[in-house]
Amino acid sequence: EKAAIEAIEAYQPSNDRSQMVNTERNVLIVDTYNANPTSMNAALDNFASTGFENKTLILGDMLELGDVSLTEHVDALDKARNCTESIFLVGDEFSKAARGVFSVQCFHDVNALADYLVQNPLSGRTILIKGSHGVHLEKLVKSL
């Protein structure tokens, strides 16, 4: 029983599902395998409840939500804004949700954000990276 508890405590996912990655400049929580309203809300709630300082969110669109897409992205953005002021959004759906919200930065795709991060590197941050796999946010790890 003790060995099982130790194994669970030591478990570190390596498949882009809440994977902790320490880079030279930041601590990343990479959760880019899937994103839907339930998993996005859970990730944001968990991140908000941590004692991490200097939190940053990089959120990518939740794909294939149909008619509820805008509402779900607005709700996720509201929750995100209660977590931190440092928010980067990737994709058309989050960009629509962020219209009129001046405290976030929106990027059309992951390449645009990657280019921005080369010119404006983040350092000393704990960064949650969450979005649908089709947004390809995992490409940002090397820039962070």
Q: Is residue 3 part of a domain?
A: no
0.85 exceeded by pTM: yes
The arithmetic mean of pLDDT across residues 97-123, rounded, is 94
> Percent of the chain scored above 90 by pLDDT?
75
The two structure tokens encoding residue 122: 């983040």
Q: Report the C-alpha gap between 56 and 21 in whole angstroms.
A: 14
| Domain assignment of residue 60, yes or no | yes
Write out the residue range of the structural domain in which residue 123 sits: 15-143
1, part of any domain: no
CATH number, domain of 133, equals: 3.90.190.20
Please state, rounded to an integer, the average pLDDT across all residues of the chain. 88
Q: Is residue 11 predicted with pLDDT exceeding 60? A: no
User: How many folded domains does the chain comprise?
Assistant: 1
For residue 114, tell me if it sits in a domain. yes
- Is residue 76 situated within a structural domain? yes
What's the rounded Cα separation, in Å, for the pair 43 and 4?
Answer: 25
Mean pLDDT of 12-33: 77
Determine which helix (DSSP H) or strand (DSSP E) holds 8, and give its type and residue range: helix 2-10
Instruction: For residues 33 and 137, give the distance between their C-alpha atoms in angstroms, rounded to a whole number.
Output: 9
The pLDDT value given to residue 16: 42
How far from 70 is each of 49, 53, 67, 80, 99, CA to CA, in Å? 26, 30, 7, 15, 11
Look at residue 5 and tell me if it is in a domain: no
Instruction: Evaluate whether residue 2 is within a structural domain.
Output: no
